[in-house]
Structure 1
Amino acid sequence: MLVPVSAAPRYTRTAKVLHWLVALFILTNLVIGLRMERFPGYSHKSPEWNSILFWHGSIGAVVLWLAIARIIWRVGHRPPPLPGSMPRWQAWVAHSVHGLLYLAMLILPLAGYAHRVAGNHPVSFFGLWNWPDLFAPNESLRVLFGTIHVDLALALGGLLILHLGAVLKHLVINRDGVAKRML
């Protein structure tokens, strides 16, 4: 069923800005993270590696703070309802994917931070300050948090593919205005 874009409920301007900023920073950091291990000639102790890690960690902190801002905003501003014509299972999947995306936006940067702290490496925010070390260095925790960080990044990539697939479905097949609510 075609829904005129002007008649479809939309997200607030603040929700849209936060969404697109988070999307930009997440995609940037996913690309950096996926490429980090593959930079030719970079050892984990080289200045180049440290520079890449500096940007990756700083951007990750931005994602965390923007995700917190999104959650705070969303608590006070309900999202537009899904169309009543949408099957219940699709609405459940949409809500589940969104919930998992929010969870990943919180846990992924925290796991990266914990990985660095456990490895006895300072975590800087764009060189302005270092985040506090909340626990002592621990090799077992470093490996655990590193694994969680990488595995969750891959899961986040899968969730983003699902999310984008749903966007395309609503834009091209359903044409129900759902995807346009965030544009």
Structure 2
Amino acid sequence: MTSFTNICIVWFTVCVGLCADPDVTVSKPVGSTAVLPCTLSPLPSETPFIIWHNKNGFVFEREGEESYQGEGYEGRVDVPVEELRKGNCSLVLRDLRLNDAGVYTSYQIEGHTKRSASAMTKSNLINSVELEVTIPVKGTNEKSLSETLGSSGDAITTHPHLKILVLSLLSCLLFNLLS
């Protein structure tokens, strides 16, 4: 295998890794309410079992009428059951705090019943949403926490658009085939 082929393989791995980035970004100021979008398709026949996580762990769970809120989210998060029955699994997060910023991931749990709690279940990834919590900066518009930190000299990582990465990979593979 040529070194050029190895480079293409590494580049492909980078592209696949970046595909795991959040599907959407929501930006809201401290103290406000954010709705992290989530839609089930196809529409479920029964009220689905939904779980939301972030890098710190469990955020919210709804199974029918019952719901559970993660530590630090008590009284601030919900997926309204009436909306969930319509296929809307969006997480409502109230009274935003700076430490709420991050990537939130939603899952639908299948194969779980209260009688078979120990039985194997299947979790289906629905989507990921990045939440940016903004803070007001005196004399300017709101800035995100990352923008504020970046202005102090800390590094901020941004990813190129996925289409550019895919086109780069295709160019790499085409060049390898022609050589």
- For normalisation by structure 2, the TM-score amounts to 0.26
Which of the pair is proportionally richer in helix? 1
TM-score by length of 1: 0.26
Higher RCO (C-alpha under 8 Å, 6+ residues apart): 1
Structure showing greater Rg: 2
